[in-house]
Amino acid sequence: MTTSNMSMSTDTPRAFPKNFLWGAATAAYQIEGAAAGDGRGPSVWDDLCKQPGRIWEGHTGDVACDHYHRWREDVALMREIGLQAYRFSISWPRVIPGGTGASNEKGLAFYDRLIDALLAAGIQPWVTLNHWDYPLALHRRGGWLNPESPHWFSEYTELVAKRHGDRVAGWFTHNEPQCFIGVGLQEGRHAPGLRLGISDVLAAAHHTLLAHGLSVQALRARARRDARIGWAPIAHVHVPATDSAADVAAAKRACFTIESDFMKNNTWWSDPVYLGRYPDDGLARFAPHLPKITDADMRTICQPLDFCGLNIYTAERLVRDSGDGGGRAVTVPEPPGFPMTHMRGTVHPESLYHGARFFHERYKLPVLITENGISCADWIALDGRVHDPNRIDFLARYLREFSRAGRDGVPVAGYFHWSLLDNFEWAQGFQHRFGLVHVDMQTQKRTLKDSARWYSEIIRTNGGGL
């Protein structure tokens, strides 16, 4: 059976484990708005949005979905959908406007109200500490290049954990470090919009990993004992062109090999976190540019985690075994007309199967899908509803593949759909809609899409309707 034609069997039950967690996710800067409200300090994204030509059509997150004022309505929508968990991020500059030092009581109180409302609605709060809105004040002090940056992040974590840790069910330290380092500091497309050399980028990445480790330590000390702790990197999944043992082995090797791209690899980021070491091929490749790395650093970075979080949307590439005995992965081009999303991403449901399987086999932890979803061309139809059959089909295919991973022995822990709301899509502004809920950015009117109602039934039956 080939995997490139999106085919899959239809005769196997697809219910998930009884303790499987169904949720949806958002990020503070993408939905909250109130960018200068109630004492919030500026972030690097506020700064980038002010720079001409940086964001599509000059859009900003100044208002976004106005969730800061409409959170009650949004929690009610989550309850209507039947979410069991909600993954949201805390805005670091909202709770510590200068990044370090004095905290902002109004910002902390906002998250108190949100968390309490979620609990009252029977929804578990899952908090991301760093979803890219880094305090501008700290960026001006060197940001992630500053050796003190891990300690800044640890102090921020301690504040949040001390204030909210008695009620939060799950924690993520960083979201997609490959993006805020690789795209933000190396490629310059995301905030803070820099194009640094590889030595600086590697130093910033190392400080980011140290910050993760110190943050986990702070959470273990301050959060409730049963809270689950991890992080949410991008999983760059290479999928096999066929189910042959050779092609599967080649795809797995490709997932955990550093080839040419600093950003688009898994092991430079995840091996230190889960295994306590940088990969040998990366150490060799980056040798002239590496910062000082000590054994103590690696012990700090490698903290016990409760799950392997993965953001997966598509496959990095489709591969086959080279056939020459070397086990190399050879790229197989997508055929003309291959399914693509509105964001021009390829549709590869099997990436959830192989991503979950490969990462579990390497890191030996339960797998939690921390982001997965699709941008569609959604609008309010003449009947007043939002019909998004492409999203429903996409999610059904991907969830079937995640269920298949579970049946094949991967401990599948849960799934967070990206996103709850249509929102500000970073440098691409408001041109993409990922939400289960349609948001009219002019009026802020919320409308449940057909996919939200479909997802509600999937949650009610624990995936039995797939």
DSSP string, 301-368: H----S-EEEE-SS-SEEEEE-SSSS--EEE-PPPTT--B-TTS-B--THHHHHHHHHHHHHH-S-EE
What pLDDT is attached to residue 309?
A: 98
Spatial separation of the C-alpha atoms in residues 31 and 286, rounded to whole Å:
37
To the nearest 10°, report the CA torsion of 86, 420, 175, 150.
-60
Nearest to 82, CA basis, from 434, 346, 448 = 448
Spatial separation of the C-alpha atoms in residues 461 and 356, rounded to whole Å:
22
Nearest to 27, CA basis, from 140, 179, 165 = 179
What pLDDT is attached to residue 6?
A: 52
Nearest to 61, CA basis, from 424, 367, 370 = 424
Spatial separation of the C-alpha atoms in residues 384 and 369, rounded to whole Å:
32
Give the strands of the sheet with 329-331, arranged side by side. Answer: 238-240, 317-321, 329-331
- Please give the positions annotated as active site: 176, 371
What pLDDT is attached to residue 262?
A: 73
387-446 residue pLDDT tens: 999 999 999 999 999 999 999 999 999 999 999 999 999 999 999 999 999 999 999 999
What pLDDT is attached to residue 5?
A: 45
Question: How much of the chain is helix, strand and coil, in % rounded to 5?
Answer: 40, 15, 45
DSSP element (H, E) containing 230: strand 228-232
Q: Are 171 and 228 in contact (CB under 8 A)?
A: yes
Buried b / exposed e over 128-164, threshold 16 CB at 10 Å, is bbbbbbbbbbbbeeebbbbeebbebbbbbbbbbbebb
Spatial separation of the C-alpha atoms in residues 87 and 463, rounded to whole Å:
20
Secondary structure (H, E, C), 72-114: HHHHHHHHHHCCCEEEEECCHHHHCCCCCCCCCHHHHHHHHHH
**Domains defined for the chain, CATH in brackets:** 21-460 (3.20.20.80)
146-156 residue pLDDT tens: 999 999 999 99
Buried b / exposed e over 195-220, threshold 16 CB at 10 Å, is ebeeebbbbbbbbbbbbbbbbbebbe
Q: Residue 254 to residues 101, 361, 366, 379, 409: CA-CA distances in angstroms?
A: 44, 14, 22, 39, 22
Neighbouring residues of 322: CB distance < 8 A, sequence distance ≥ 6: 250, 328, 329, 330
Nearest to 451, CA basis, from 400, 375, 382 = 375
**Three-class SS of residue 454?**
helix
What pLDDT is attached to residue 9?
A: 42
**Three-class SS of residue 56?**
helix
pLDDT lower than 70: segments of the chain: 1-13
DSSP element (H, E) containing 428: none
